Each structure stands twice: as structure tokens, then as C-alpha cells.
């Protein structure tokens, strides 16, 4: 994704080199701390507003260092459009006006970046525009700077989850979810997000019993997975999906994966978390954020 410099003057330097992944949610936030010295840890902070909860990070948890932030689903949108026919250096400026009627942010208060999708021979080139409200991002950065956390990357759940997958040449479909949000379907190949889709109606899946999952949820989820695979392989003319990984950190996660395998006839496995974080599945996006370098809405 292209580098966006609109926020760079607000980023600060830090003496500590501790690595902090911070995942914002609707009414909570989660962090993953990988310190230079000592043990890594993950923690959830409940707050009436995730941005307000940022003010506790230094005083209560002693966090400092460089920070990678994952926005909550309500703080950004991803829009697919035709790639503007302008020089590369002018794309970001052109996109603001191209998508202004598609998002609830004015061009003057919009910050954006983009990533490419699969290229179809003979078709207009598509790009995926990630956009957010500049004033919201500035508030996040300002609060973290006061907490002695230097923001290096601001990104989305799609890229934080994708970082947890090993690099592989064949496309893999990832069924993933972050607490308080809907299920995401991602198709990742060679470390790049080639397909993304947010499914509605699954935010409360953690409250479902295995019987409820078996009789309603898994059948509809399997159908959406198959539709996404068909679109990727047939409409986008991409290589066949060989594997499906699942990271939906609920008590019945293993049961859901087994039933999904029965319905899709493609190998389905639980996504393995990085070493040291095997039991921290609910903090997946915070962990993934610590592995990010340049995939972002904004970089500092």
C-alpha cells in the first residue's frame, strides 16, 4: 500500500523500543506487549469508548515504545473502485474525490490508502481504498503520544489477521473474528490480501451453543464461504483455494472448524498463533499488529 504522509507530523519519537500491538474495539481495547526485556503479555481493557481507554496504557500498564494500531470496524471503510488513470503520485488525491459520495467522510477530513486486487485481463484495474476520518486518527495518535507510545502504523483487522498466516504461494481462505465484531473472510496469497468480505449477523456467535451452531450458524457460514470461494476462483479467475484456516476465539471454535470442514470439503484447520501466543487467540489482531511494518492506513 502507498505511504500516506498526512499524519506524519503528529507521530513522535520514543526512547523505548518495546513493541506494542493495540487493537481497538467498540467498547474495549486489547494490547500485546513484546518488550525488549521480560515476558510478552496480552491484556484486554474494558472502556465505554476504546479511544478514551488509551489514557490508561502508561499509568496502569506501564506501556511505552513503538505502537501499531488496529482500528475498530466502525472507524474505517474499505471501498473497491476502478484505479484512477493518473500518475502514481496523484492517486491518493484523485481517490478522495472519487469516493467522496461513497463514504461518510468529507474529502477535507479523510485519510486513505489503498491496496491492489487481483488483475483480470481485459478488465478495468480495481483497487481497494481504505479510508478513515482524519480527526479520529489524530485524536488516537495524540492520546498515544501523551502516553509515550510512538505510533508507527495505523491499520485494519484485515491486515492484522493476514500477518498471522505463513507466507505461501497458494491462496488460503481465513475465517476470522475479533470480539464485538462480525466475521471476516479473507483470502491471502504470498502475504497479500486478495479478497476480503465482512459477514453480517455473526457478532454474537460466541453466545451460541454447539446445537445452535450445528443447526443454523454453520450451514449459513458454510454457504457464505463457498460463495466467496466461487467468486474468487470463477469470477476473478484465481487459483483454487487449497486450505481454510479458522480463528474465531470462542469456546466452540474447534467444533465449528470440524463442521465447516464437513460442509466445504476443503481441509479446515484452526490457525496456529505465533510461538508464545498459542493461548492468546482472543488477542489475534493485537499480536498480528506487532508483526506489521508497512501495511497501513498511515505510517509514521
8 A C-beta contact, residue 158 and residue 172 = no
Domain assignment of residue 277, yes or no: no
User: Where in the sequence is the domain holding 114, given as residue range(s)?
Assistant: 75-131
What pLDDT shows up at residue 11? 56
Note whether 37 and 142 are same-domain residues: yes
What pLDDT shows up at residue 8? 57
Burial class (CB in 10 A: 0-12, 13-18, 19+), 89: exposed
Note whether 148 and 127 are same-domain residues: no
Q: What is the pLDDT of residues 168-210, one digit of tens each?
A: 999 999 999 998 899 999 999 999 999 999 999 999 999 999 9
Domain assignment of residue 283, yes or no: no
Beta strand spans in 35-85 (E): 41-46, 65-70, 76-82
CB atoms < 10 A from the CB of 84, how many?
A: 17
* 156 has pLDDT over 90: yes
Long-range contacts formed by 219-226: CB under 8 A, 24+ apart: 219/263, 221/175, 221/183, 221/256, 221/260, 222/259, 222/260, 222/263, 222/264, 224/185, 224/197, 224/199, 225/173, 225/175, 225/185, 225/260, 225/264, 226/264
Note whether 37 and 154 are same-domain residues: yes
8 A C-beta contact, residue 22 and residue 29 = yes
Q: What is the pLDDT of residues 27-81, one digit of tens each?
A: 899 999 999 888 999 999 998 888 888 988 988 998 989 999 999 999 999 999 9
Number of domains present in the structure of the chain: 3
Write the CATH number for 88: 3.30.1490
Paired with 155 in beta bridges are 70
- pTM: predicted TM-score of the whole model, two decimal places: 0.91
**What percentage of residues in the chain have a pLDDT greater than 90?**
75
What pLDDT shows up at residue 74? 93
Note whether 207 and 60 are same-domain residues: no
Note whether 179 and 262 are same-domain residues: yes
**What percentage of residues in the chain have a pLDDT greater than 70?**
92
Note whether 89 and 179 are same-domain residues: no
Average pLDDT of the chain, as a whole number: 89
Tell me the C-alpha distance between 3 and 124, whole Å.
23
Amino acid at each position: 500500500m502507498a505511504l500516506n504522509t498526512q499524519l506524519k507530523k503528529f507521530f513522535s519519537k520514543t526512547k523505548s523500543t518495546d513493541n506494542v500491538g493495540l487493537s481497538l474495539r467498540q467498547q474495549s481495547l486489547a494490547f500485546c506487549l513484546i518488550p525488549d526485556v521480560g515476558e510478552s503479555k496480552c491484556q484486554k481493557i474494558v472502556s465505554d469508548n476504546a479511544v478514551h481507554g488509551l489514557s490508561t496504557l502508561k499509568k496502569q500498564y506501564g506501556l511505552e515504545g513503538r505502537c501499531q494500531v488496529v482500528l475498530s470496524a466502525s472507524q474505517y471503510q474499505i471501498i473497491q473502485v476502478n484505479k484512477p488513470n493518473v500518475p502514481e503520485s496523484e492517486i491518493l488525491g484523485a481517490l478522495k474525490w472519487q469516493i467522496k459520495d461513497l463514504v461518510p467522510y468529507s474529502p477535507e477530513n479523510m485519510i486513505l490508502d489503498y491496496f491492489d486486487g487481483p488483475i483480470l485481463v481485459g478488465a478495468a484495474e480495481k483497487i481497494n481504498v481504505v479510508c478513515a476520518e482524519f480527526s479520529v486518527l489524530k485524536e488516537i495518535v495524540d492520546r498515544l503520544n501523551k502516553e509515550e507510545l510512538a505510533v508507527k502504523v495505523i491499520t485494519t483487522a484485515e491486515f492484522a489477521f493476514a500477518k498471522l498466516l505463513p507466507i505461501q504461494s497458494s491462496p488460503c481462505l481465513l475465517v476470522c473474528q475479533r470480539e464485538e465484531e462480525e466475521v471476516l473472510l479473507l483470502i491471502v496469497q504470498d502475504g497479500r490480501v486478495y479478497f476480503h468480505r465482512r459477514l453480517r449477523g455473526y457478532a454474537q456467535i460466541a453466545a451460541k451453543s454447539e446445537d445452535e451452531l450445528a443447526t443454523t450458524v454453520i450451514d449459513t457460514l458454510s454457504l457464505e464461504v463457498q460463495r466467496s470461494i466461487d467468486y474468487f476462483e470463477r469470477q476473478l479467475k484465481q487459483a483454487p483455494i487449497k486450505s481454510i484456516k479458522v480463528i474465531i476465539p470462542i469456546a466452540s471454535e474447534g467444533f465449528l472448524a470440524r463442521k465447516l470442514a464437513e460442509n466445504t470439503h476443503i481441509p479446515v484447520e484452526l490457525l496456529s498463533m505465533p510461538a508464545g501466543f498459542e493461548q492468546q487467540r482472543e488477542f489475534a489482531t493485537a499480536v498480528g499488529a506487532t508483526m506489521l511494518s508497512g501495511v497501513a492506513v498511515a505510517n509514521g
